[in-house]
Structure 1
C-alpha cells in the first residue's frame, strides 16, 4: 500500500550483539527497497543499549554486511546510546503528565505476582500495585529501593493495526502489562527507546520480523500516549531451514559475511533474499533496479520462507555467468592469491571468461583458475602410464612440432588439433585426453584448445617436450 502524501521513511534497527544474520539482512533489504520504491528515506539505527552484549566488533559486522549488500542508508547510522538524554527527557515528561509512574516492587515481588496470576489461569503480569488511580492509596515507599518507571497502559478496549503483511491484528488491552520503560538506574528499556526513536525520526513504515508482533501493541499505546504518529507496521514471517525448522547454524552459514567469504556475489544474495517472502509473479531473477521498481507490501508473503542452498547456488551461478569478465577477474584475484596462485602469469580476464559458465561460486572459480595461476603438478605415474603411452607420445611430439611454428590463438590451435586427428586417424578423446594429462596433469579440463591458448606457447611446449 502506498502512502497518500507523507514521505516514506523506513528504518533498519539491528542490535549489535553479533553478526548481521540472514533474517536481519532480509529485513534491511525489504525496508531499503520499500523506501526506494516510493522515493523515500531509509535510515540505519543501531540499537546498542544492551551494554553487556553490544560490542564494537558486532557494530562493524553489521556495517560491513550492509555495505556488502549495497544497502546504503540515507541517514545514519544513529546509535541509541547517544540519545540517552532524550529518552530521560521523555520519561520525565511522561511522569509529569501521568502516563508513567514509579514502581517500587522488587523483581521477586513481580515474579510472585505473575505466579499468582498463573495459578488463577490468568496471563502472568504485573498486578498494578504502584499504579496510581483516583482514590487509591499506594503502599509506603521503601527507603532502600530504587524504583523502575512503568508506562500506564490502557486497561480497557483494544489496540490494533492493519498489518502490511498479516492484515488486521488486535490485542485486548487487558492483556498488556504496565511496561517498564526505565530501569532503577534510569536507563531506558528496548520498547521505549524504539518508540522515541521512531517518533523523533518520523518513521512512517516499519518492516520487521514477526517475532516483534507482541511488541507492536505496546509500542502503539506508548506512541498514542505521547501524541505521536503511529507508523504502519508489517511483520514478515521467519526464514526456515531446508528441514522446515527455524534457520540456524546447523543449516550452514547464517552470517551474511560468511557468504561473502564463501564466494557469493552481493547482487545474487540480494536477488535471493528478496524472493524469501516476496514475489513478482514468477520472476526468479531480477536486477536491483527491477526490485526497486516492483517492490511493494502487497506481494509480501504471509507464510514462512524456506532457505534453499541449491537455489542460492543456481542464482549465484547465473550472476557469475553474466558478470563482466574484468570485474569478475578483480573479484576472484584475491581468492587465487590466497591459494598461492600468481594472477600475473596469465590473462586472468581470459581465464574467468573460460571458467565462469561452470562455476557456482567465486571459490569454485578460484579453484579452477589454479590450473593457470598455480604451480604445475605433473600427472601421477598411474595417470601417465594409462594415457601417455608410446603411441600417444608419438602423436603429442608431432603436435608439439607443428605447434612450435603456430600463431598462438584458440582458432589456430583448434585447427591444429583437427589436422593432427586427421593425420593420425584418431578420434578427439585419443588426442585430447593425452594432451590434458601432459599439460594439466589431469584428464578433465575446460576446452583443450582454450586451455592451451591461455597457458601460452612456451609453457605448453615445455610440458609436451618433458613427458
Structure 2
C-alpha cells in the first residue's frame, strides 16, 4: 500500500505550534515510507477564512521546509463534488432533510441538560416524509442506531464508541453549504489518504467520519491522534506563553532546523537522542512511537537547540537566515564583511539570530552613540595615550590581518607599559560602540582599516568633550 498523509489546516489564523507539529509528523510518516504528503486548506468556513491566513500557512510550511507533494487543495473548489455525494446519500436513504428550527433544537437540548442527559438531536425528522413546502432545512446523516465504531489508533490503541452515543450529524447547512465533517470524509477518500495524523481534539469527530466513509463505501484510513501541547505551567499552550505562531519564531531569530528538532521531540522519541537532522527524523520516525501523554513546551530547550544549530550548521545556511534579520532592520550588508564571517565570530555568543544581527550592526553602519556605561568606564582622559598610539600602530600596518592587528595592540601595551585591558577596552568601545565584542583581532579585521582609524578619532573627540564639560 502506498502511504498518503495529509495536513489540513483551517485558514482562520496563523500556523500555530500544535499545527506545525501535526504537519511535521504527517510529513515524516509519508517520507519515512516513501509516500506522499498532501496539503489541504479546509476553508469551508467562509466567514472566518481569510486570504491572509492561507498565505500565513503556506509561508510557515515553506519556512519549516515541509514541502507538499500534492496541493495546496482548497475545499471551496470542491463544493460540486460534496453536493453530488450528499444527494447520493439522500437518494440511498442514508441521509435526510431535517426541518427542525434552531429554537426547537435549543429547547430540546435545554430540557435534556436539565434532565442530566447528553444534549443530542432526537432524530425527529429521520423517517418523516411530511416535508413542508419552501421551509428551510438542513441535511443530516443517518447514523447507525446500534453497534460500535472501533478505531485502532496508533497513539491510543483501540478506541470503541457505541453508535448510541452519536446523533445524526448535519452534513449540509440551510444555506446549502457542506459541513466540516462531511468535507473531510470526502477529501480523505478522494485523495487516497491512508493515515490521518491530527490532534486529540478530533477524536470525537472520528467515529462520525468513519460511519460516513462506510456509508459511501470508502476505505477507512488509519488514525493517530496526538496529545495537546502544554505551556511550562501545565496549561494549554496559548499566547500568554509567548510565541505560538511558527513565523513568530522566525521573527525572534530561531532557525527552522531548531524549531523542527524541538517539535519532533514534543511527543516522539528515539532512545535518548535529542538532536536530529531531518534525515535522521525520517529514518527513525514511527507513528507508534508517539507518546499519548501531553507534552510541555520548554523555551529554554528550544534556545539550547537554536544555539546548537547556529554553531553546527554550515555557516552559509546560518548566514542565509541571518540575512533576513538585517533586511528587516533595513540594514544593507553588501558593504561590509561576509555574513558567514559574522556567524563564525558571533554564533557562540548569542541565543538567536536576531540577537546576532543586533550586536553586529556596527559592521555595516556607523553607530550613533557609544554605549553609555561602556563609555563612562573606558573612554576617560587616561585612555587617550593608548588610543592615540594604537591608532598610529594600526594605521601603519601594510597588511590588515588578525595577526598583525593583535601585534599592533600588544606593541601599544608594551610601549606604554600598561596591561592589555588599558588598551583593549578603550579600543573595543571606540571600534564597536560598546564594551562587548568578540576578540579584538577577529573583530577589527572585519572592519575597514580607515574606518577603524575614524572610529578611534570619534572616541578621542568624546574624551576631549568629556574633559571640557
TM-score (structure 2 length as normaliser): 0.92
User: Can you list the C-alpha shifts for 1:112-137, whole angstroms capped at 9, x where unaligned?
Assistant: 222333333322111111112xxxxx
CA RMSD for the aligned pairs?
2.0
Partner of residue 174 from structure 2, selected from 184, 188, 213? 184
State whether structure 2 residue 296 is matched by structure 1 residue 301. Answer: no
Who is 1:459 aligned against? Answer: 451
Who is 1:365 aligned against? Answer: 356
Note if contact 1:340-1:374 (Cα within 8 Å) is conserved in structure 2.
no
Please state how far the C-alpha of 1:233 moved relative to its aligned partner: 0.7
- Cα 1:371–1:95 shift into 2, 3 Å: same
User: Can you list the C-alpha shifts for 1:359-392, whole angstroms capped at 9, x where unaligned?
Assistant: 2222111101112112134547875564344553
Partner of residue 210 from structure 1, selected from 196, 200, 206? 200
Of 347-356 and 25-34, deviating more is 347-356
- Cα 1:179–1:419 shift into 2, 3 Å: same
Note if contact 1:433-1:444 (Cα within 8 Å) is conserved in structure 2.
no
Note if contact 2:82-2:186 (Cα within 8 Å) is conserved in structure 1.
yes
Partner of residue 25 from structure 1, selected from 11, 14, 20? 20
SS of equivalent to 2:359:
helix
Matches within 5 A, 1:183-332: 183-332=173-322
Distance 2:47 2:371 in 1: 57
Partner of residue 406 from structure 2, selected from 406, 410, 414? 414
Distance 1:170 1:27 in 2: 23
The gaps in structure 2 that reach 5 residues or longer are 461-469
Matches within 5 A, 1:119-158: 119-132=114-127, 138=128, 140-158=130-148
- Equivalences, count: 457
Distance 1:382 1:44 in 2: 53
Note if contact 2:228-2:295 (Cα within 8 Å) is conserved in structure 1.
yes
SS of equivalent to 1:150:
strand
Note if contact 2:395-2:453 (Cα within 8 Å) is conserved in structure 1.
yes
Distance 1:89 1:430 in 2: 83
SS of equivalent to 1:264:
coil
User: Can you list the C-alpha shifts for 1:399-420, whole angstroms capped at 9, x where unaligned?
Assistant: 2333233221111222333333
Please state how far the C-alpha of 1:227 moved relative to its aligned partner: 1.6
Who is 1:11 aligned against? Answer: 6
Distance 1:154 1:385 in 2: 80
Distance 1:57 1:314 in 2: 32
Note if contact 1:320-1:359 (Cα within 8 Å) is conserved in structure 2.
no
Distance 1:368 1:381 in 2: 16
Distance 1:408 1:56 in 2: 53
Matches within 5 A, 1:73-84: 73-84=68-79
Distance 1:47 1:396 in 2: 65
Who is 2:464 aligned against? Answer: none
Distance 2:99 2:40 in 1: 32
- Cα 1:380–1:87 shift into 2, 3 Å: closer
Who is 1:431 aligned against? Answer: 423
Partner of residue 50 from structure 1, selected from 45, 54, 57? 45
Of 195-204 and 370-379, deviating more is 370-379
- Cα 1:383–1:12 shift into 2, 3 Å: closer
Note if contact 1:352-1:369 (Cα within 8 Å) is conserved in structure 2.
no
Partner of residue 88 from structure 2, selected from 75, 93, 100? 93
Please state how far the C-alpha of 1:442 moved relative to its aligned partner: 2.3
Of 265-274 and 139-148, deviating more is 139-148
Distance 2:381 2:198 in 1: 69
SS of equivalent to 1:402:
helix
